[in-house]
Chain A
Amino acid sequence: MKLIYVNEEWCLACHLCEYNCAFANSGVRDMVTALKGKPIFPRIHIEGDEKISFAVSCRHCTDPICVKSCIAGAISKSDGVVRIDREKCVGCLTCVLVCPFGALSPGEDGIMQKCELCIQNSFDEPACVKGCPNKAIVYEEREGNK
């Protein structure tokens, strides 16, 4: 299946992916209303320094440790996508502790959130990929991915 991959060689650390992510998951129609004057809670984060940078989001691991460790059974994997059930999450942050990539973070309301490939919102292609100006984030099939 298609997943999000990063080409750190082309990442400009412009942080557009973070804003596009926050907007895509806001449920609001225009970006200004969604993001103006508010702190953003994106599910993708730019990491790195001045020399090298890259966007980090959920890898949708084959054997996700977050699923195993969730004390509330809120995280599951179906159709290759690791998802969070907002109703079940108790905000214990265990998943933050165990995720080796730092891909989960609490949202505005304290409930955990993570990249779900924009499947839940109206974007057919993940918003971070669509908005990346330099193809540093791509959505594609790769060898070894089922």
Chain B
Amino acid sequence: MEIKKHLLQVCSPTLKKILTQISPQQFEEIEEIRIRSYKPLLIKHRKGEDFLTARGKWTKFPEEGYSCVMEDITLTLELMSDYSLYAFEEEIKNGYITLLGGHRVGLTGKVIVEKGQVKALRYISGLNIRISHEKIGCADSIIPYLLCETSIYHTLIVSPPGCGKTTLLRDIIRQISNGISSRCSGLTVGVVDERSEIAGCYQGIPQKDIGIRTDVLDGCPKVEGMMMLLRSMAPQVIAVDEIGHEKDIYAIENVLNAGCKIICTVHGNSIEDLQQKPVLSTLLKKNIFERIIFLSHRQGPGTLEKIIDGTDLERKRIC
């Protein structure tokens, strides 16, 4: 219900009217809301996708869907940014803004480029609201594979977009930070939350449950953030989302040298897929990650495909 309340607050009056009419049960199932100018309003949910009519009913026929107008988008955008798009300048350059509650809104439109770099986004004409679902306990079945004696293994979570990587990461952080009753006392976790998705911080305070021993650097670039945490917060575990940049390797190596454990996520389908990515293949060759978790969308988001031991040359399957 909280999610619905937060979202309705930032929607233009017309969209608000439509979304209010969706029942709470149906709302729970929504993963994405896509608003494109002069195109029907589309929602993605666990079972596929549907269009939304002007009365808030779900339909399979595009022509019955409510056709969004430019005003819906500009007003929604104003409300989402607290009437202050300029305050989200850096985020907009990366193509998204993050709402209260950690929901990420993707943006498309006319890109203004200066000296080969994205300067701003003007005439924003498409929004994709990705609803961040907090699934407390979704890591229950995975946690036992990650624990070693007094700490945890270096872990990599791999999945295509929208399969629940961040949700899983969040729950792992919560559990190891709180401590798992019999097996592991709580660990100090440092989170570098570059896109405000893990902790869903609002004015610096985490809105999601990420455990009692967790420190969050909100909106901080990963590389700098990891160094800052190492220097000052003495973390036992560092968690980051979506690695893949060359500089990330350097930061991860520093984390390892400091004796910290690392948990991170990356986009990908399979181990072969990862080996083709230059940055990831370098990391894999070093056999850093002791546990690699693969997720898929096979039985809804967050389906556990397998867990393998990354240090083992044969990449033995553990689960």
Q: Do A and B bind each other?
A: no
